[in-house]
Amino acid sequence: MLFVLSIGVLLAALTLAVLAWRRSRHRGRTFWTESARLLLLVLAVVLLWQPETEFSRPSRQRRQVVVLVDRSAGMQTEDVVTSSDRMQRREAADEWIEDASWDKLQPRFTLVVSPFAAQHPSQTDLAAAIDSVAKESDQLAAGVLVSDGDFTTGRSPAKAAQELVSEYGTGMRVFSVPLGDDRHQPDLELQSAAVPTLAIVDRSIQIPVTIRNWFTEPRKVLVSMMVDGETAERREVTIDSLGGASELFSWSGDSVGDHQIGFRVEPIAGEIDLDNNVASSRVNVRREKLRVLIIESVPRWEYRYLRNALLRDPGIDVSCLLFQPSIESLGGGGKDYLTALPSDIAEWSSYDVIFVGDVGVTAGQ
């Protein structure tokens, strides 16, 4: 259609030029004028047909395909199910990278495998890893992100991928390889066992234990407390589906020294991870009392309450000092009362805790 229209325009222009030349009194001058006009019109029509030649020249430098492999803590989750086994997300990523299909890219592209990990154990910034690709490569053909897709800091990785594509143009592509399950796998998890590091002989310590049930049904589990390898107590605990339960265990050390206190949730059918069913800590049992000094001006009710509460504890040695304004001598009258402040740093340092009440700035002077 364009060709027919062009020929028609040229014939019409030629006809008008011939008529103008015949009617003109100055045929020589008119001939050159009409000839120039026809030449310009022919050039315009030729340019309208876009006469151009395309050719390609192979690049001497091969473009890169960068594969980002997530190495954060979340990739250690064992929830990738294969036909014969269950493996960690990190192991699945390694198998995917080692696949022989990548060899097909070698004739045209350079394959660059770039593992990345979180700078902080509890944070994963996928967008920062995608941004690093643009800084490290100027011959980028495609980017591949192998990850579980879990990010805890930074902006959206999808937005970072869009910005990367915009920077390199439409010829660049970003692909993702998701690994893992978006649901928590069925499991029993001993989340915490707060065992203190220090205990007093023949004094009971309280140990809170928290257990999590990741099954979709309630479960009854057996929780055992072991002391130095021997079972000291065992309880049956019922945990709601996808819920948690807390139990408080008590233990009293009857011998001085280090003791190993451990807890174990008995495995049940269907658990994916048995390593998180146990926890243990070491506690040091000592035969000693805490030395506490209470300094006060008059025996206010706060002072009396604190003193009586501490005296009832057999593991605490209490000393008191009262600055009675109505009596000449210091003290208080009981066997646990002092008559003067400690005289040197060594005597001050012998106390583990010192309570100072409303004694005033002139007390002891």
- pLDDT tens for 31-41 read 888 888 878 87
> 63-178 falls under which CATH superfamily?
von Willebrand factor, type A domain (3.40.50.410)
The dihedral through the CA atoms of 14, 16, 19, 23 has a sign that is negative
Distance CA 246, CA 235 (A): 12
Asked if residues 344 and 287 have their Cβ atoms less than 8 Å apart, the reply is: no
Q: Per-residue pLDDT tens for 142-164?
A: 888 888 887 878 888 888 888 88
Domain ranges of the chain: 2-48, 63-178, 188-286, 290-356
Distance spanning both ends of the chain, measured CA to CA: 115
- Give the mean model confidence (pLDDT) for residues 353-360: 86
Closest by CA to 4, choosing from 48, 38, 54, is 48
| pLDDT of amino acid 212 | 93
Round to whole Å and give the CA distance between 31 and 43: 18
Q: Greater confidence, 343 or 10?
A: 343
Distance CA 218, CA 239 (A): 6
Indicate the pTM of the whole model. Answer: 0.48
DSSP, collapsed to helix, strand or coil, labels residue 125 as coil
Residue found under tokens 């910005």: 163
The amino acid at 228: D
Per this entry, what is the length of the chain?
Answer: 365
Cα–Cα distance, 328 to 331 (Å, whole number): 10
Provide mean pLDDT across the span 275-283: 90
Structure tokens at 198: 């220090």
Is 188-286 a CATH 2.60.40.10 domain?
A: yes
